[in-house]
Structure formats: structure tokens, C-alpha cells
Structure 1
Amino acid sequence: MILNMRIGVFKVKKLFILGVCLIGCVVIGGFILFGVNQQTQTHSDKQQHAKQSGHNKFVSSQTPTLFLHGYAGSANSEKFMVNEAKDKGVTKHIIKAYVSRDGEVQLKGKWTKDAINPIVQIELENNKQGYLDVNANWIKNVLTTLQSKYNIKKFNFVGHSMGNLSFATYMMTYGNDPSLPKLNKQVNIAGTFNGVLNMNEKVNEISVDANGKPSRMNPPYPRLRKIQEIYKGQHIDVLNIYGDLQDGTHSDGRVSNSSSKSLKYLLGNSPQSYRESKYEGPNAQHSQLHENSEVANDIIKFLWER
């Protein structure tokens, strides 16, 4: 009987200890779950705060921004800059405009009727087209397609390398056409306005004065000087970005700083504002400029920051 009582007490103690352990596990587990939930909620709150901050930081405009690559480029040339804008909360509406060799425009993707700060990545099938008048017409075709589908009134433009020269030709040819959307802001990256090294310019051969006037004007620069009149009174803001490798060539390796900076003389005092941004070192190389996070930030601030 005493043995049975001892066994009973042992069982009670065992059950008591097991119960205490189970309660402890439940309590500890509850604290762990609470902590995880709090961390998740905090992370979610931070994400929401960042999203709201980004939304408040940028303008809420329905004006689209067109990105155009340079000679032998593609939409991939614009990808980094566009993704930077998307990641920072500028927009979530991005489409591509493919231009065939015949100039036909096909839009890939779509944005909603109330899209904020939409972006259009232009890709030319014939990306080695050297006739600037043809390129200018293709830019017009993109704009009229967007105008027909989305009824756009204004647009921003970001160009790299020869894309800027093509756009300058567009403005010279169509910039005064009242039936077309109006240019709002323009970003030029490594513009080839007065030549390309080892094509029609030698290293350190041409210089520009304080007004951007080149010591020698290469075609089609003289012909483009009429765009000064076209920009006058249209309240256009211009950002001109160029790179200097700091290797003594005063260039980004392909385009001289004098060629890029000669845009200032082309436009004169006609833009509402004009600013130059110089980048230096290996990341300022011609093709690296459109992969440069500082350049992307400069563009984002200029185009969309309040």
C-alpha cells in the first residue's frame, strides 16, 4: 500500500512538472510570436512610411517621361535609370515603345488613365540609323502614338549620346508644331552636339568658351542653332550631364566635354533654366553614365522632386 502511495505521488509530481513545462513553453512561445509579429509590423510600418515619404517627395504628374538610347543602344541602356526611378517610388507605370525600321510604333504594356509620372522606354529597331531627320520623325511617331492613346499634352525627355542629337533635330523640325505635345523638361547625357572623338574631332582639338560656343562648329551644329528661337518662351527646363575620365582627354572616352557643353550656346538664354552636371572618374565613362547611381539621382531630382 505504501508502495502504491509512493507511485501515486511520483505520478502527480511528474504530471505537475510536465504541466509546468507545457505552460512555460506556451508562455515563451507566446513571447516569441509577439516579438516576431512586432518586428514584422515594424518592418511593414517602415515600408509604408518609406512609400508615403517617397510619394510626398515627388510630384504627382501625368506628364510622361521618354527615355531614348544612343547609337547601337537599346532599352537596356535606359533600364538602370528607369529602375532607379521605380525603386525610389517615382512611378510604377512603365511601358516600352518599339519603333520598327519603317517607323511604326508598337507600345508594349499600358498605364492607367490616372497614372502618375509614367515612363516610356523607346527602343529603335534600327539603332544604327545615322540620318538625324529620320530619327526625329521616329520620335514624333512615338509622341503622336502616345497622344492618340493617352491624350498627352506635355512630355519630358531623357537622351543618351546620339539620342540627344536626334532629339535636337526633332525640336528644330517639330518643336513649333502646335498640334504636338510640348516639351516640359529635358535631360541630356553625353550629348554629341558638336562631334564625336576620332570621327570628326581629335582629342583636345575643340574648346568652348564660357557661353558654350565651340572654337569650331562641326555639322550639323550650325544648322541646329535655330532651336534657340524654338525654345524661347516655352518654359523648358534643361539639365546637361557629361563625364570626364580625368585622364587628360577632357572627355568620357567617346565624346569630348566641349561637344556636350556646346548645347549651352545652341540654346542661349531661351530655356526657362539651364544647368550642367559634370561627373568624373571611371564611372563617368560614356556608357557608364547611364549606369551611374549619382547620375540617376540627379535625373530623378531634376524631373520629379518637389
Structure 2
Amino acid sequence: MPYIQRRNAILAMICLFLMLSLSTVWFSYRTDKSNAAAAPPAQKPVPTVFVHGYKGTARSFNGMLGRLEKSGTAEKAMVIRVTKDGMIVVNGEISNRARHPMIQVIFSDNRASFRQTAGWLEKTMHILYTKYDVKEANLVGHSMGGLICTKYIEDTSGRRQYPDIQKLVTIGSPYEGVLTRVFKQNPNNTGDAARDLLPGSVALKALYANKSRFNPHIQVLAIAGVVNKPASGDSLVSLDSALFSRFIVPKKQYTSKIVYGKNAQHSSLHENKRVDRLVADFLWHAKK
């Protein structure tokens, strides 16, 4: 073959190779672009807000949150402290890659009335919505914390700029009040909340009276403790009181669980590993 013909043939092969390569790159680009457009946006994680009870502190939920984090079930993302004058102090952040982020709320005035404490929680949740883009959330409350969460849900019903609550867990929450004789034996039980926690209080009656405001789409798990059979209750809250929320929450949305034994004592419920599992399974279907 003459030199010129060989050269032309080689050039033709090079051009063909370049055209095929460019076509492959273009097709790959178009496919990737099409797939990116078709793929749904990553779903933001739904944080769970933990609210302690009467006289509660950081220690109230530190253990449970630590165990859930250590097991790989969830991640502690934020600690929010509410000062006695209502200032909100936030530490931490919520990553879009977090696995079930947990937020711990701590009230400096842990004996304040239901009204005051629910107001602080309302302010906290509003900040989460407006400044941290939390549009959905779960709530977990121990003892009075569960009552405060319930009041918060009723008080913010139909109002904008608050996270849409998906699930609520109450742990030993006295919807009909505490056992009066046991409660009054402790001289340290003082403050406005102490009056609100007594059976028949105006604050407790209001929770039931306002049940129509409770969002009927929220799933609720009520956890109660029984220390000694056949005795009923966790030593401070009777079984009936802890499960009374069934008269507030729509039947189809309500679930209850009872834990037994010495670790079912009221102040030990948030340290009970059985309670850990119930909470994790209900919130995140993490049952093993």
C-alpha cells in the first residue's frame, strides 16, 4: 500500500476511535445526569427530643442516650439547656448523615409548673424548626417529661413553625398524678410542679380536657413499671396513672408496655435496658 494511502487509513482509524470514545463519554454523562435527576433527594433524619421529669438533670437521660449510641442504634447530636430565665443554649448540630439523631433538653428550673416548662419546650422546638430546619421530630419524656410533651402537643396544635411530631414515648408518666402519700414523704418535693403532679390538680385535668387538640396522627407508646406483683405501680406512679394516656390518645395510635422487677422502680426506668429496647424498637424499629 502506498505511503499516502497507509497514512489516510491510519488517520481514519484514529478519527473513528475518537468519535467512539466521545460518544461513550457523552452517553455516560447523559445517563448519570438522567439518573441524578430521577433519584429522590436524600431524606433528612428525624431527630428525637428527650425531656426529663420533675427534679430531673442531665443524668436523667445520659445513661439511656449513651447506651443507645454505644449500640449503634442512634447518635447523640445536641444538648439544649434552658436557663431559669428561659434562655436557650444549644450545643451540637444535626448532620444530614446522622443515624437517628438524639437531642437532650435540660431545664435548669426543674420544679417549674407544667405551664412554664411546656412553654420552654415550645420555645425550644420553635428554635429547632426555624434555626436548625427540623421539620419533623419524635418526643420521649420520663415522668413529668411525658406530661410536658403531651401539653406541648396540645398547646401547639394547628400552629405553624413547630416540628411535626411523629411519635411520642412516655416513661412512667403520671397522667392521674403521683401516689400522694409517697410523694409527700419527701420534704424535697417542692415547687409549682409538685402541686401540678398531685391527683386532681388543675394542670392534670387540663391535659384530659384538651385531648381533642392532641394530634390524632401521632403514634404513642406508654411505658409503665411494676416493681412487685401483685402491687400495682413503680413505687411512685400507679399502673393506672401511667397508662391513663389511653384516654387522651386515639385507640389506633396507642400502644402500652409494662416492665417488671426492681429495675422498674420509677427513678430507675430510664436506666432499664428493657426500656431502652422498647424505645428503640418503637421509634426506629431497632429490635434485635
TM-score by length of 2: 0.74
Q: Report how far residue 292 of structure 1 moved.
A: 0.5
Which residue matches 2:276?
Answer: 296
Q: Do the aligned residues in 1 keep the contact of 2:53 with 2:144 (CA within 8 Å)?
A: yes
Q: Report how far residue 85 of structure 1 moved.
A: 1.7
Which residue matches 1:305?
Answer: 285
1:217-272 CA distance string (max 9 Å, x none): 55433322244322354x21110001011155411111111111111112243xx5
Partners in 2 of 1:159 and 1:290 — Cα distance? 10
Which residue matches 2:103?
Answer: 120
Partners in 1 of 2:250 and 2:181 — Cα distance? 26
The structure having more radius of gyration, on CA atoms, is: 1
Question: Secondary structure of 2:267's match?
Answer: coil
Which residue matches 1:72?
Answer: 55
Gaps of 5+ in 1: 1-59, 203-215
Partners in 2 of 1:117 and 1:229 — Cα distance? 30
Which residue matches 1:106?
Answer: 89
Q: Report how far residue 75 of structure 1 moved.
A: 1.8
Partners in 2 of 1:108 and 1:223 — Cα distance? 33
Over the aligned positions, Cα root-mean-square deviation in angstroms equals: 2.2
Gaps of 5+ in 2: 1-42, 185-198
Question: Secondary structure of 1:239's match?
Answer: strand
Q: Equivalent residues in 2 for 1:1-306 (5 A)?
A: 62-129=45-112, 131-198=113-180, 218-233=201-216, 235-246=217-228, 248-269=230-251, 273-305=253-285
Question: Secondary structure of 1:267's match?
Answer: coil
Aligned residues: 230
Amino acid at match of 2:100: N
Distance 1:91 1:232, change over 3 A: closer
Partners in 2 of 1:240 and 1:222 — Cα distance? 19
Q: Report how far residue 170 of structure 1 moved.
A: 1.4
Distance 1:268 1:88, change over 3 A: same
1:4-39 CA distance string (max 9 Å, x none): xxxxxxxxxxxxxxxxxxxxxxxxxxxxxxxxxxxx
Q: Do the aligned residues in 1 keep the contact of 2:50 with 2:61 (CA within 8 Å)?
A: yes
Q: Do the aligned residues in 1 keep the contact of 2:129 with 2:135 (CA within 8 Å)?
A: yes
Q: Do the aligned residues in 2 keep the contact of 1:172 with 1:226 (CA within 8 Å)?
A: no
Amino acid at match of 1:296: D
Q: Do the aligned residues in 2 keep the contact of 1:168 with 1:227 (CA within 8 Å)?
A: no
Q: Do the aligned residues in 1 keep the contact of 2:154 with 2:214 (CA within 8 Å)?
A: no
Amino acid at match of 1:155: A
Question: Secondary structure of 1:116's match?
Answer: coil
Partners in 2 of 1:167 and 1:282 — Cα distance? 27
Q: Do the aligned residues in 1 keep the contact of 2:84 with 2:109 (CA within 8 Å)?
A: yes
Distance 1:172 1:226, change over 3 A: farther
TM-score by length of 1: 0.69
Question: Secondary structure of 1:128's match?
Answer: coil
Which residue matches 1:13?
Answer: none
